[in-house]
């Protein structure tokens, strides 16, 4: 195994003890969970917060004067403030709760997009996007008569920034780009992209679903117009996410769903809209999900995102070296600036077979196109096997995967 020496002080064993599921066994073997890009496991703090809400404070928010409703509302809105601080937003009103990053992108496409994009306009995305940052823009273009443009990447999985700049024009209305590719691990230079986009007079949406639990995020320093995150990848519950946008942009956007709580007044002749951010939060929200996500981001803040990123970068370097020693293995995505993702193929062996065999050893990885079929097409493959890292992973996890891959070669190679 590689001999990379740790350079940071992060007690990974202490962190692992905070995640109950990591103590269980799969097929009689200790769980090695390397499917974090799909969803992360949850620390006991988050699980306790969900239980506490249902056993002590369960009530609807914003609507009641009784104690339970007041306590639920305080916890819900407190979580909004925690997420605002975590992302570097100027005001909690700039945080709109959504079901996930996907819903955040759709909200922007259907609200801001339909108000600002028309026939002859262009929407620019990149070749490394998740389907969630492709399909909503295709739908917008189909509805408005706009054109979808795609900025290419190179053979390492790095965005061709020169081509993105070339594709920007006076017709570009919005650019949508991933911060960290779920299929390749590439980290895009968001601050630099923002400068190019704004110089062209366009808006920038960044899909932060993968980035937000691996690195510090400061939306104002990055200069983005929209930033979306998803809770279940941030050690929080499923079914909750958030959209960030400055108040001036959100104020000018029409609501995209109608219903309770997003209105100020309703008559049969006309309805008027509630203040931010409630204008975009129709109906009863995912109260416990928001509270759980608030606890998760405070947990991450306490650990220190800089420390976590440094630890994971060491682990990524170790894993990159270890996997490359497996005969016939080729990494897909070798950008110079990347994080957390080890996507690979093994000569002559289908990724699904790899995933099935290593599962027998208690090792969970993801196989398939990872909701990034255009990425697979770019590299001339149908699928990859993907090991994705999180704060509780260890070198021993990677060693177990490498040993299992040698076993795959013996069985199928």
The residues that are catalytic are 371
Three-class SS of residue 381?
coil
Structure tokens at 226: 């929209």
Structure tokens at 296: 């998760």
Peptide bond connecting 190 to the previous residue in cis, omega within 30 degrees of 0: no
Q: What is the DSSP string of 236-258?
A: S-TT-EEEE--HHHHHHSPPSS-
Neighbours of 399 (CB within 10 A): 16
Rounded Cα distance between 274 and 391, Å, is: 39
Structure tokens at 265: 């007044």
Please say whether the beta carbons of 278 and 97 come within 8 A: no
Please say whether the beta carbons of 49 and 42 come within 8 A: no
Please say whether the beta carbons of 129 and 182 come within 8 A: no
In eight-state DSSP terms, residue 347 is T
Neighbours of 112 (CB within 10 A): 24
Residue 329: phi, psi to the nearest 5? Answer: -90, 135
Three-class SS of residue 297?
helix
Q: From 185, 220, 190, 186, select the one nearest 204 (Cα to Cα).
A: 190
Neighbours of 275 (CB within 10 A): 9
């Amino acid at each position: 195994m590689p001999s990379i020496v740790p350079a940071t002080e992060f007690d990974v064993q202490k962190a692992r003890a905070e995640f109950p599921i990591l103590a269980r066994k799969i097929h009689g073997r200790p769980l090695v969970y390397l499917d974090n890009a799909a969803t992360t496991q949850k620390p006991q703090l988050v699980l306790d917060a969900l239980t506490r809400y249902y056993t002590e404070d369960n009530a609807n928010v914003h609507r009641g004067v009784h104690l339970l409703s007041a306590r639920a509302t305080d916890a819900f809105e407190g979580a909004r403030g925690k997420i605002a601080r975590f992302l570097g937003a100027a005001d909690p009103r700039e945080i709109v709760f959504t079901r996930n990053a996907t819903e955040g992108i759709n909200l922007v496409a259907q609200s801001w997009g339909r108000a600002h994009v028309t026939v002859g306009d262009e929407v620019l995305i990149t070749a490394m996007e998740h389907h969630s940052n492709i399909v909503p823009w295709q739908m917008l273009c189909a509805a408005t008569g706009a054109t979808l443009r795609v900025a290419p990447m190179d053979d390492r999985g790095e965005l061709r920034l020169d081509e993105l700049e070339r594709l920007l024009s006076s017709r570009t209305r919005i650019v949508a780009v991933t911060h960290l590719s779920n299929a390749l691990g590439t980290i895009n230079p968001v601050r630099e992209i923002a400068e190019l986009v704004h110089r062209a007079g366009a808006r920038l949406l960044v899909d932060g679903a993968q980035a937000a639990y691996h690195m510090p995020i400061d939306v104002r320093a990055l200069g983005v117009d929209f930033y979306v995150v998803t809770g279940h990848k941030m050690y929080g519950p499923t079914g909750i996410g958030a959209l960030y946008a400055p108040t001036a942009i959100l104020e000018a956007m029409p609501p995209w769903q109608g219903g309770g709580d997003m209105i100020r007044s309703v008559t049969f002749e006309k309805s008027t809209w509630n203040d931010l951010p409630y204008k975009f939060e129709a109906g009863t929200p995912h109260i416990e999900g928001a509270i759980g996500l608030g606890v998760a981001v405070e947990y991450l803040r306490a650990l220190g995102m800089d420390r976590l990123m440094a630890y994971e970068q060491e682990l990524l370097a170790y894993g990159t070296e270890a996997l490359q020693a497996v005969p016939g293995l080729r990494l897909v995505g070798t950008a110079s600036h990347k994080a957390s993702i080890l996507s690979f193929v093994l000569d002559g062996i289908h990724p699904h077979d790899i995933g099935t065999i290593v599962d027998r050893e208690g090792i969970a990885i993801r196989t398939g196109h990872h909701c990034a079929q255009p990425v697979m097409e770019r590299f001339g493959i149908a699928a990859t096997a993907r090991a994705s890292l999180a704060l509780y992973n260890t070198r021993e996890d990677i060693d177990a995967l490498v040993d299992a891959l040698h076993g795959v070669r013996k069985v199928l190679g």
